[in-house]
Amino acid sequence: MNRFLLPLGIFLVLSVFLAVGLKLDPREVPSPLIDKPAPPFQLALLQDPGKTLAPGDLKGQVWILNVWASWCVPCLQEHPLLVDLSKQSVVPIYGLNYKDARDDALKWLARHGNPYTLSAMDADGIVSIDYGVYGVPETYVIDKDGVIRFKQVGPVTPKVLEQKILPLVRRLQG
Partner 1 sequence: MTRITAVLLLALAMPAYSNEAAPAADDPVLEQRVMRLTAELRCLVCQNQSLADSHAELAIDLKNQVRSQMKAGKSDAEIRDYMVARYGDFVLYRPPLKSNTVLLWGGPFVLLAAGALGLGFYLRRRRARLTEGELTSEQRARADALLRAGQKGGTR
Site residues for partner 1 per CB under 8 A? 26-27, 29-33, 99, 124-126, 129-135
In the bound state with partner 1, the residue whose beta carbon lies nearer, of 70 and 86, is 70
Question: Residue 169 CB, nearest distance to partner 1 (Å)?
Answer: 24
How long is the chain? Answer: 174
State which residue, 37 or 158, has the beta carbon closest to partner 1: 37
Cβ 165 to partner 1, closest distance in Å?
A: 21
Minimum gap (Å) between residue 74 Cβ and partner 1: 13
Closest residue by Cα to residue 45 from 111, 122, 108, 134? 122
Neighbours of 33 (CB within 10 A): 16
* 51 versus 126: smaller Cβ distance to partner 1: 126
**Measured between alpha carbons, how far is 61 from 78 in angstroms, rounded to an integer?**
23
Sign of CA dihedral 75, 78, 79, 80: positive
Nearest to 90 by CA among 54, 63, 72, 52: 63
Q: Helix 102-112 vs helix 73-88: angle between axes, to the nearest 10 degrees?
A: 60
Q: For the CB of residue 136, give the shortest distance to partner 1 in the complex, in Å.
A: 10
Please say which residue, 138 or 161, places its beta carbon nearer to partner 1: 138
118/123 with CB nearer partner 1: 123
Are 65 and 58 within 8 A, CB to CB?
Answer: no
- State the minimum distance, in angstroms, from the CB of residue 50 to partner 1: 27
